[in-house]
Each structure stands twice: as C-alpha cells, then as structure tokens.
A and B are shown apart, each in its own frame.
Chain A
C-alpha cells in the first residue's frame, strides 16, 4: 500500500517537475553549455567552442610581490617618513594568451613585503564582495524589522488589520517604483531624508551623499530593501508567533518572568524554525540584488554597489557578450547553492 501511494505521489509531481525542468533546468543547462563558447548576442561569426576561457576571464586572480625601490648600491630606498618605497605596479598588465589584461584589485602588506592582487575582471570580484556585504546588511535589518513589526501587530490592538496592511504594502509595490521613490528621498541636495535630518540638526543643511558615497551607498540600498521586504517576513513570523502555545507564556508569567525574559526564553525558541526559514529565504533573495542597483546607482560609485546579477546583465545585454554574462550567472548559481546547503547544514545540526 505504501509503495503504491509513493508512486501516486511521484506521479502527481510530474507536471510541476516537467515545468521546472523545461523552464528552469533546461535553459540553465543550455546557458552552462553556452559559457564554453564565445557566443555574442548578434553576430554573423559562427559560434566557437572556447573551453574554459570565459571562466579564466572571470576568475583569474594572482598575487605578485612588489619589490622595493633600490638605489644603485642595492639598498632599500625610503621616503621622508621612513617608509619603504615600492615600485609602482602597472595598473594594466597584458598577457600573451589572448585573454583580457590583468588589472590591479588591491594591495596589502605583510611586514616589510608588499603584495599586489591582480585580476582579469575586477568588477566581478567587487560584485562578489558587495553581494556578500549586502547580505550581511540586509538580513539583520530585514528580519529585525520583521520581528519587531510582527510583535507589534500580534496583539489585538485597535486598527491591527490596518497596520498589517500598511506594513505589507511595500512588498506588493514594484521594486522599480520603490527604488525611484527612494532615489528621490536619498538625493543629496533635495532629498527628504536629508531635509528631515536637517531639522534635527537644528535647521542646518545636512547634505549626506547617500547614493554617491562609496561607504554609504550599499547600506543605503540595504536599508531600503529591508523596508520593502520586511512586511513579507512579518507575515511569516506572525504565523510562527501565533503557533507558540499561550500556556508557555502563562507559565512564564507565573514564574515571575519579565517581558524581556519571556521574549528571550519563550518567544525566540518557539520561533526557531520560522526564523531559520526566514533567514534562508532572505539570504537567497538578497544574493540576487539587481533592480535597486540598476535604477538607483548603476553599479556606482566606483563599483561600490555593483552585484553579481548586475554584472551579468551588463555583460550579457549592454555589452552583448552573452556567453560571459552566462558565466557570471553560473558562478552565481553555484554560490547560492553552496550558501543554501551550508545554511541547511547549520540549521539541521542546531536542531539536533
């Protein structure tokens, strides 16, 4: 009986599996094969197989030591403050294998030795770093906000439904619209946020360049994304809160626990599964950051907000280098897969 039910169960999944396979898995495999070629969007040249060239273009990274400047006698030269003077490394170094030249990504020093990190595609590495940074910002922002909002609307206060609606409204608004509005809010000279801050600063002019400052741009986008997405997680956490047994709270109150202690020892443990789910979904969604960057900052300033998907779209569509854009997408997929597996492992082991 069990085996027959299993077979029926599997049979029921066929339509969904077929759609998944046809519309997601198959195109992904086709794209992965395409990354081994030099396909361009519009081209009369026949597409040629180039092996792993696209990945070499994308992922090549090397570290070279930078020698100090020596004078004729062979002693190390120092500058006015006594620091060692190093040879200036060329910003662009060509190689003879037909791939793009190496560019400087950054330098670091260990003791008296200096090293320069060179990559063929600095934008990819910056995009990778930005994507991780964005995840690190947005997950706590968004889940913290969602948890707070859920706690606020959990109790039957007046207007609870209205509040829930307002908190959820940003989720159903198009991200493009949200980005445009927030771009206005964040504007350095005419933005509402700066004007409000100016009121708090005693009427002075506060001209923080939110989207034009390399350090502030990504957190600003993360704040906005958290605002937009919090409502969705709020609903899920609300459901989790409502599933916590009321008797546990009663018992805690009888034991003399304060609000904060109740929160720490009843609410949070009860929400563990919900929070795990919410963290995983928010993380995976955060990796695919694109719309906000495309509308608000176009990857700037100086690649401070460029992300993996933005880089893929720029390469594939704007520059028409489809095979290369697909390579970025394949790397992105492997990354998200890896992160999801790690998170599952952590959540799974915590349960035991």
Chain B
C-alpha cells in the first residue's frame, strides 16, 4: 500500500534540525561564511609567507619490474630519497620488464613520459635523437659524471643523456673441480683463454663426454642477448658492428674479417655440438650438463650461493685484441617534458652517491659504477668475493654502438647469428645484415650524425 510508506528522509531538513551537521544548508549562514573566509585568508597568508617547501613537489618516476631483490632495492632507494628531504617526493610506477621498452616508446609517442625513467642503455640514443630526453651534462655535477665508469654514461653525439648506478659484465663461469677433472687451466685477467685455445678445450671435453654440451651460451634467448652477448667477441677480434666515427656505414664492419672470424667460431660451436642449439633452461652448469657458462654477471650471486669456493670467474675468450665484456645496463634519464629537472637532478645525484650505489650492488651482484661505490659495498670492495667483476668492468668494458639506429643493428645481428647457428653461409648472412643496416640508416637520414640534416 503505497500511501502508508514513510517518505524518504530529507537530508536538507535533517541538517536544519541538527546544526552540528554542517551540510549544504549550513553554509548559507553568514556567520559560517565569515568564519570560513577568515580561516582561508589566514591559510593563504601562511602559505605565502612560509618557506616554499611546505608541501613536497611530486615527481613521477617509472622503472622496470626487475627480479624481486633488485626491485626491492630500487624501491628502497626511492623511499630513502623521499625521507631524506622534504622538497621533492617521487611517485614510483613499475612496468613489466619484457615489454618495458615498448611501453616507454608508446608513452613517448603519446607525450606521456614521466619526469624520471629508467631505460636500457642501448635505446637511450634513440630517445635522445627523438628529443625525449634532457642532456644531463648541465643537470649533474661535473665531479659526479667524472667518477662514473664508461658503461655508466649513455651518450649521443657527445652529450650525456643517461647515467647508471650499476653495470653488468659478461664472463665465463665454471667450477674448479670440473676444470681439474678435465685438466683445464684456469684463465685469469693476465692470461685469458684465446679463442683457439678455448675451442680445443671444448673439443677435448666433448670427446671425453659426448653427452655433455661443454659451453652454455644461453642459446634459448634471442632478442637483445645476441647483440649484447656476442658483439663483444667481434670487438675482441678487433672489429665492430658499425663505424663509430660517423655511425654511417656497417659494411666492412659487421661483415668484415673480424666479424666473419667470430661468426665462424660461433657456427662451429653448434656444428660440433659443443653448445646446445636451444638450451632448455639456465640450469646447465648447476646440473652438470655444461662445464662453462658464458653469461652476464647477474648470475654471479646465484652461482656463488650454490658453489661457494668451487666457483671460478674467468674473462671471456680473447679473440685477438683482449677480452671484452660488454657494458651498459639500466640507466636513469630525465624526460624533456619534466617540469622539475632540478628535482630530477637531485634524485639522480642521490642515486649516484657511494652509499646508494653500494646498496644497489648488493641486490643480484650488480657491478658498481664508481670506485667509491665499489669500496663502500659489501661484495665489490678490494678483498671481497665479487671484486674481480668490478675489475673486468674497468678493464674490458665496451658499450654497444651509441646510435639511434641501434634497434635495427641489434635485430640485423640477431637474425644473422640465428641463421648462422642453423648453418647458413656466414658471409652471406653478414652481408645481408650490413645491407639492411645501411638501408635503414639512409632511410632515416643518417640518424642525426650527418651535418646536412
């Protein structure tokens, strides 16, 4: 029966009955308006007169989602920065690692980059050329930049656009007990394996144990691993992927004699089944299916925990001009759209302090990028277990070519080496890579290195 239903309570009427409840009707009272007006005026005066740091300025930051320890260490750094001063407050957002570069590329295209972001060093020139990153030469102190190792600075056309707290080196992991069993000497910085010597070692082990794949080169990984892991071999052989004076011509570099020699060596590994065509996981060294693991220093902690004193670090094989270990890991950059570059600079200076670098290096054996940071760290100080890795970085690091055309160079090298692994003619594969890289450079008008454009 509709008429008997009570009408819904009227909020206006309720407020009028209860003056303590300041609803809409409450504001109509003149006394209250005056009260609010005085309070607002007082607040405005307080803000105007008070020092500008009453409320910290918010800055956005994006980073990739690394493995737990690394991510935790990164977030802890940001928390420490926020707590150490009251002028700036960083808001972090993490994005999945595998698609991180695509995500920030899309954001750049949409004009929605955050103030501070981390980038994989090889893509920094691409972003810098497209005008999305601020040069850091002016934002950071000269002493700060001067203390950084080469692999910690991302440059494009002689200006620095990104800096890194840590770096990664490529090396050979093995076990002392296994080396002794097969009568193999331990390589050292003064006396690394030469490429020929190493091939003989692998062949000897294979002859004795045909069921093993003596060298694990992460062959299930494609993508950037190919260029990152194997272009240092080409540099060790005295060559390179592209001419680094003008970044204009890849022919006679990626398909030059040094590269051909390295590619043949690489093809031999698979043809003689010294390495698996496609590893099933990264447990080969742990499970004894491989004797050597050629990979980045990110695995150092895992192996140290597992093998302890039995673990031995060795430099990569020397293809003629000394071993090379690669360089350039995750870097920090400041976007051009950032409204508070001085805040971003303060944050990056904080990250590059010895304590912060040391703290970061403890997560997942990441190599510090300054001497002070290494000495302050737990694992990379002078007598500490991972010091060797820091020394490799100082002595052998070479970055990948710093050109906006690097994505194409990496893709071309990946295609060439994958085909070579499956038996394609080395010269043909590398010639095709050189031709496609050169076409790409021409199509993009020299990527900003030519003076006319």
User: Which residues from chain A sit less than 8 Å from chain B, CB to CB?
Assistant: 38, 40-45, 91-92, 94, 98, 100-101, 103, 184, 187-191, 209, 211-212, 214, 298-303, 314, 317-321
A99's nearest neighbour on chain B, judged by CB, is: B439
Give the complex CA separation of A320 and B407 in angstroms: 7
Give the complex CA separation of A184 and B279 in angstroms: 10
Contact of A318 among B280, B407, B432, B445 (CB under 8 A): B407
B102 interface contact, C-beta 8 A: yes
Give the complex CA separation of A288 and B88 in angstroms: 48
B428's nearest neighbour on chain A, judged by CB, is: A91
Given A211-B278, A318-B407, A318-B411, A103 and B424 contact (CB-CB distance below 8 Å): no
Contact of A98 among B108, B222, B442 (CB under 8 A): B442
B126 interface contact, C-beta 8 A: yes
User: Which residues from chain B sit less than 8 Å from chain A, CB to CB?
Assistant: 102, 105, 108-109, 126-127, 129-132, 222, 276-278, 280, 404, 407-408, 411, 418-419, 421-424, 428, 431-432, 435-436, 439-440, 442-445, 448, 453
Contact between B411 and A92 (Cβ–Cβ < 8 Å)?
no
Residues in chain A near residue B280, CB distance under 8 A? 184, 187, 189-191
Contact between A187 and B278 (Cβ–Cβ < 8 Å)?
yes
Give the complex CA separation of A188 and B278 in angstroms: 8
Contact between B422 and A38 (Cβ–Cβ < 8 Å)?
no
Give the complex CA separation of A317 and B407 in angstroms: 9
A191's nearest neighbour on chain B, judged by CB, is: B280
A214's nearest neighbour on chain B, judged by CB, is: B422
Give the complex CA separation of A94 and B435 in angstroms: 9
Residues in chain B near residue A190, CB distance under 8 A? 280
Give the complex CA separation of A352 and B278 in angstroms: 52
A-B pairs, 5 with minimum CB distance: A301-B422, A42-B130, A298-B222, A100-B439, A187-B280
Determine how close the nearest CB of chain A comes to the CB of B126; give it in whole angstroms: 6
Contact of B435 among A98, A101, A191, A298 (CB under 8 A): A101
A303's nearest neighbour on chain B, judged by CB, is: B419
4 extra interchain contacts, Cβ-Cβ under 8 A, other than A38-B443, A45-B444, A212-B277? Answer: A45-B453, A209-B277, A314-B411, A320-B105
Residues in chain A near residue B440, CB distance under 8 A? 319, 321
Residues in chain A near residue B421, CB distance under 8 A? 301
Residues in chain A near residue B442, CB distance under 8 A? 98
Determine how close the nearest CB of chain A comes to the CB of B295; give it in whole angstroms: 19
Contact between B278 and A302 (Cβ–Cβ < 8 Å)?
no
Residues in chain A near residue B126, CB distance under 8 A? 42, 320
Given A42-B105, A189-B276, A321-B440, A91 and B422 contact (CB-CB distance below 8 Å): no
Determine how close the nearest CB of chain A comes to the CB of B424; give it in whole angstroms: 6
Give the complex CA separation of A187 and B213 in angstroms: 14
Contact between B109 and A91 (Cβ–Cβ < 8 Å)?
no
Contact between B108 and A42 (Cβ–Cβ < 8 Å)?
yes
Residues in chain A near residue B418, CB distance under 8 A? 298-301
Determine how close the nearest CB of chain A comes to the CB of B380; give it in whole angstroms: 34
Give the complex CA separation of A203 and B448 in angstroms: 62
Contact between B422 and A44 (Cβ–Cβ < 8 Å)?
no
Residues in chain B near residue A45, CB distance under 8 A? 444-445, 453
A120's nearest neighbour on chain B, judged by CB, is: B439
Given A301-B422, A302-B424, A100 and B435 contact (CB-CB distance below 8 Å): yes
Determine how close the nearest CB of chain B comes to the CB of A95; give it in whole angstroms: 11
A184's nearest neighbour on chain B, judged by CB, is: B280
B220's nearest neighbour on chain A, judged by CB, is: A183
Residues in chain A near residue B453, CB distance under 8 A? 45
Give the complex CA separation of A303 and B432 in angstroms: 14
Determine how close the nearest CB of chain A comes to the CB of B110; give it in whole angstroms: 12
18 A-B residue pairs with Cβ-Cβ distance under 8 Å, sorted by A, are A42-B108, A42-B127, A42-B130, A44-B448, A92-B431, A100-B436, A188-B277, A189-B276, A212-B278, A212-B422, A300-B422, A301-B419, A302-B423, A302-B424, A317-B102, A318-B407, A319-B411, A321-B440
Residues in chain A near residue B407, CB distance under 8 A? 318-320
Give the complex CA separation of A100 and B431 in angstroms: 13
- Residue picked from A42, A189, A298, A317, most chain B C-beta under 10 Å: A42
Residues in chain A near residue B443, CB distance under 8 A? 38, 321
Give the complex CA separation of A298 and B105 in angstroms: 22
Contact between A44 and B428 (Cβ–Cβ < 8 Å)?
no
Determine how close the nearest CB of chain A comes to the CB of B438; give it in whole angstroms: 9
Give the complex CA separation of A66 and B108 in angstroms: 50
Contact between A41 and B444 (Cβ–Cβ < 8 Å)?
no
